[in-house]
Amino acid sequence: MITAVYGPGAVNAIIAIGIFNIPVFARLSRGSALSLWTRDFVLAARVAGKNATRISVEHILPNIVNLLIVQGTIQFSLGILAEAGLSYVGLGAQPPTPSWGRMLAESQTLISLAPHVAIFPGLAIVFMVLGLNLFGDGLRDLLDPRLRRGRG
């Protein structure tokens, strides 16, 4: 909607994608924080006299930051797909700024003569999104203590 109202451009596409991702992180943060507020270590901190701000910074935030990092990698890959889609329909980055979506759109007329012109931007999108998703899975495995295996 933002790119349709304010016109095409890389900045407008980034703002639109960023606004679209805010509820995802807000929902994840709120749900995780609400479940942590009932845990014993948070209740012990409340009994010890710590205020809500201090508990949030010392206990809640360190426990949800791993989730936010992993979700960030997933949302970043979705942002790449969204930017490519916006550029494909002409609402993303404008020339001379390179964009994989615009490269795919411009290569449609040449696909019968030179298919590599369309294949390489498409493969770049696929490998970038796949790589970011695998990176996110690896981070989740590394950062989640429940998924760690004992050593010997």
Report the alpha-carbon distance of residue 107 to residue 74 in Å, rounded: 28
Within a domain: 137: yes
Residue where the block lists tokens 């703002």: 15
Closest to 32 (Cα-Cα) out of 14, 1, 3, 59: 59
Query: What is the pLDDT, as a whole number, of residue 29?
Result: 96
Within a domain: 152: no
Query: What is the pLDDT, as a whole number, of residue 46?
Result: 94
Host domain of residue 36: 2-147
Within a domain: 27: yes
Query: What is the pLDDT, as a whole number, of residue 152?
Result: 45
Cβ distance 125 to 81 under 8 Å?
yes
Amino acid at 77: S
Within a domain: 120: yes
Give the count of beta carbons closer than 10 Å to the beta carbon of residue 37.
Answer: 15
Name the domain count of the chain. 1
Query: What is the pLDDT, as a whole number, of residue 50?
Result: 95
In this prediction, the residues of the chain whose per-residue pLDDT falls under 70 are: 1, 147-152
Q: Model's pTM, two decimal places?
A: 0.83
Query: What is the pLDDT, as a whole number, of residue 87?
Result: 94
Helix extents (H) in the chain: 2-6, 10-36, 40-47, 52-55, 61-88, 100-107, 116-143
